[in-house]
Amino acid sequence: MCLPPFHHARELRFQLNLSGPVDPWEVADRLQIKVSEEPLDADGYLLQRNNNTRILISKEIDYEPRKRFTIAHEIGHFYIPHHQAEIFRCLPKDLQSFRTNKKIENEANEFAAEFFLPAVEVEKYLKHPPDFNLIKEVSGVYGTSLAATAIKIIELTYEKAAVILSEEGEVKWFAKSKSFPYWINKDKLHEWTYAYDYFVQGTLAVSGLQQLPAVAWCQGAPKDVVIVEESVAFERLGMVLSLLRIPISETEDNLDDNFI
């Protein structure tokens, strides 16, 4: 039976005696993998032949966290036992969507996410409901993108929360916490969402936490359920990253008070 990718990421961190932020170039060197940046038709390649292993990274990548994640992704292909191909060609959509239709690329993404953002360390930051201040703090410490950091935090939080990336007015991908009770609408953004404003006006009309009906984002949500949205625009990429959270209800507050 194949072990999950996060297991292999934790195993490699343990074997290399790593803690905190890691340098993927240094890790590759310790694994005797040569890394080079070259003109490519993909974001990255892993080449394995005759005990000679190389990672090639596209020279077109100018965003440092993306470059780091690509190297870790290729290390995942190298280290996960059942990734046996001699050549892995990894396209931008394989790395940027985080949820591709290619199982083997998803596994390398999951490996990279845990390798950079180990759950046992990130959990220590989850002292309050997730917001972009928290995401930016963890991102700054570990040298990871806001999107990758947001996904990791959403996976770990006990809050009812979700993160969505939108492009050209449509949901590109989303991730939700185990307790988030709804699925995200995958068609065009609803005009009530604050992310929608960016694709219509070219800017986010408001910033910070904003309340709106959950039905604007969520399939099957009752009309009276309120959700909190916080969105940031990646203007260079023409994308919006949105963080959703369902506030603790008054009923839950009362239950907590009674328990205390």
Counting Cβ atoms within 10 Å, is residue 51 exposed (0-12), middle (13-18) or buried (19+)?
Answer: exposed
Residue 225 — pLDDT band, cuts 50, 70, 90?
very high
Three-state SS for 45?
A: strand
Torsion angles phi and psi, residue 87, rounded to 5: -130, 125
Taking a C-beta distance cutoff of 8 angstroms, is the pair 119, 152 a contact? Answer: yes
Token pair 């609803």 is found at: 190
Tokens read off for 16: 């290399």
Give tens-digit pLDDT for 95-134: 876 666 688 999 999 999 999 999 999 999 999 999 999 9
Q: Which domains does the chain have, with CATH numbers?
A: 5-116 (1.10.10.2910), 142-251 (3.30.450)
pLDDT at 99: 62
pLDDT (tens digit, 9 = 90+) per residue, 23-39?
Answer: 999 999 999 999 999 99
What pLDDT is attached to residue 257? Answer: 44
User: For residue range 132-180, what is the model confidence (pLDDT) as tens digits?
Assistant: 999 999 999 999 999 999 999 999 999 999 999 999 999 999 999 999 9
The answer on pLDDT for 94 being more than 90 is no
pLDDT over threshold 90, residue 258: no
Distance CA 205, CA 196 (A): 10
pTM for this entry: 0.89
Kind and range of the H or E run holding 242 = strand 239-245
Nearest to 243 by CA among 154, 113, 124, 168: 154
pLDDT at 251 over 80: no
